[in-house]
């Protein structure tokens, strides 16, 4: 009975990895973790073949999950529509709850039938036995055998939790390292007292923002969380799954921060800048097709009448403030700008000046070199960013007769005298021409163009290490 319950509640199994030249295991193979061997270099993989009962029951549950996904992230609009039509009254809600309860009972029965189908399949029983053994004991042998299967990732035993370093320090009597929260609401401005009356007045807007952020907003921001897209992209996801785990690399694998270089693409720039801010000793950061702040991009895709609600929702629940976090990192940085990016531009892809990668560069340079990026320096860098081709970019660079050797000597002399910590006051005694040269020099060191759209894979020859003195 326990095994049957495990099959009912178990994850979906996708692939099984076997040895290419191994003989088919007999049907009476015992259900123990030791009955599975790790595939060597000659291994091959095959999609798991469910039996008829499991297959049909799983199709019904998958369809129900699709409808739930659609209804979940469209719920703000549905609730508004039902309210306008008068369907949210008690007389309408009670019968609906009866129908919903009946449907849930039917789906629970279908889930039990799927579990019975899995229970009658020796392949799935063997898999669930190994999975349970690994959850009980995460030994190297159990994890090696579990690697023979590809299944729902959320059911994989947790190797490392981000709070582990803090817990270990607390258990030893040392200070707890809480770090910086991943998503922080925008702080209140000075002088804005948050009294009880103000909180009551803002409560409806805060509830609306929360609902929008955790339904429609999150799925617009992270399309991969939508079940429909997961289903469509599953073959691609099965070919390669990767994630950035900064603390796992440091605290479990033994990497030193200075051995780590973070590369992040698109929305991954948020976690990358957070990691760089939280671990300032890492070697370098490379941000590809990333942006400075989410608010302008969110406003682009939403009605203008929603401006206040969108801004409030992003600031309170989805505050991806990449530029702010990146400015708190002192190490080498390289920004890769896609010149035909259709995602992080606020107008059209051809309007390269609406690419929010420009704003990310300008905010970083203005923080690190505020004297250089004064009026003259800011103006000439904007002209350089506006170049529509490599030829035009080089023409602007040569027009200002940038002397790279002189720029390097100025920066190295300042670093030797004042140290490496930003912000620097270099450029405060220069004339306008000197600041313009230095601003252009720094801009082309910090940002490289890649003539491609947002989702084009970055070729190996376009990957390079960030510049540093």
Which residues does the annotation mark as catalytic? 266, 341, 418
Rounded to whole angstroms, the Cα distance separating 289 from 263 reads 11
Q: How far is CA 353 from CA 6, 147, 253, 344, 437, in A?
A: 55, 47, 42, 11, 21
Rounded to whole angstroms, the Cα distance separating 257 from 406 reads 33
Contact 346, 296 (CB under 8 A): yes
Nearest to 256 by CA among 274, 284, 281, 276: 281
What would the two tokens of residue 24 be?
């088919």
- Bridge partners of 286, per DSSP, are 263, 334
Rounded to whole angstroms, the Cα distance separating 371 from 309 reads 37
Rounded to whole angstroms, the Cα distance separating 258 from 320 reads 25
114 φ/ψ angles, rounded to the nearest 5 degrees: -65, -40
Contact 168, 59 (CB under 8 A): no
Rounded to whole angstroms, the Cα distance separating 97 from 329 reads 52
Cβ contacts of 3 within 8 Å, gap of 6 or more: 119, 125, 128, 129
Rounded to whole angstroms, the Cα distance separating 151 from 3 reads 18
Rounded to whole angstroms, the Cα distance separating 17 from 151 reads 12
DSSP three-state, residue 17? strand
Q: How far is CA 10 from CA 3, 125, 162, 189, 202, in A?
A: 10, 10, 25, 49, 43
Cβ contacts of 462 within 8 Å, gap of 6 or more: 336, 448, 450
| Strand 149-151 relative to strand 13-19, pairing | antiparallel
């Amino acid at each position: 009975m326990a095994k049957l319950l495990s099959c009912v509640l178990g994850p979906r199994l996708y692939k099984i990895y076997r040895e290419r030249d191994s003989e088919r295991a007999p049907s009476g193979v015992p259900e123990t973790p030791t009955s599975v061997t790790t595939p060597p270099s000659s291994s091959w993989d095959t999609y798991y073949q469910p039996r008829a009962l499991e297959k049909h029951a799983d199709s019904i549950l998958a369809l129900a999950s699709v409808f739930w996904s659609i209804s979940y992230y469209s719920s703000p609009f549905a609730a508004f529509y039902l309210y306008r039509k008068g369907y949210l009254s008690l007389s309408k809600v009670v019968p609906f709850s009866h129908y919903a309860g009946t449907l849930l009972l039917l789906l629970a029965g279908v889930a039990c039938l799927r579990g019975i189908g899995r229970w009658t399949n020796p392949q799935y029983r063997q898999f669930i036995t190994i999975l349970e053994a690994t959850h009980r004991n995460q030994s190297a042998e159990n994890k090696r055998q579990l690697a023979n299967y590809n299944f729902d990732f959320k059911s994989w035993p947790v190797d490392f939790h981000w709070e582990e370093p803090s817990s270990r320090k607390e258990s030893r009597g040392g200070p707890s390292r809480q770090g910086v929260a991943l998503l922080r609401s925008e702080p209140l401005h000075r002088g804005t007292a948050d009294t009880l009356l103000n909180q009551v007045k803002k409560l409806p807007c805060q509830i609306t923002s929360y609902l929008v952020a955790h339904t429609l907003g999150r799925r617009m921001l992270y399309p991969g969380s939508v079940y429909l897209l997961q289903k469509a992209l599953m073959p691609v996801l099965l070919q390669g799954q990767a994630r950035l785990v900064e603390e796992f690399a440091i605290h479990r694998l033994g990497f030193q921060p200075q051995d780590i270089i973070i590369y992040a693409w698109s929305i991954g720039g948020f976690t990358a800048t957070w990691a760089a801010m939280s671990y300032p000793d890492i070697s370098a950061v490379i941000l590809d097709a990333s942006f400075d702040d989410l608010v302008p991009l969110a406003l682009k895709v939403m009605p203008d009448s929603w401006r206040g609600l969108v801004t409030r929702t992003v600031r309170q629940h989805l505050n991806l403030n990449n530029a702010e976090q990146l400015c708190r990192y002192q190490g080498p940085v390289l920004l890769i700008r896609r010149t035909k990016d259709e995602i992080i531009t606020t107008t059209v892809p051809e309007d390269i000046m609406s690419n929010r990668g420009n704003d990310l560069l300008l905010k970083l340079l203005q923080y690190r070199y505020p004297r250089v990026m004064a009026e003259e320096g800011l103006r000439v860098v904007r002209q350089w960013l506006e170049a529509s081709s490599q030829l035009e970019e080089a023409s602007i660079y040569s027009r200002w007769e940038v002397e790279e050797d002189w720029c390097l000597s100025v920066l190295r002399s300042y670093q030797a005298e004042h140290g490496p910590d930003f912000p620097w006051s270099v450029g405060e005694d220069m004339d306008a021409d000197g600041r313009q040269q230095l601003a252009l020099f720094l801009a082309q060191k910090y940002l490289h163009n890649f003539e491609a759209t947002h989702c084009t894979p970055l070729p190996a020859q376009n990957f390079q290490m960030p510049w540093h003195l």
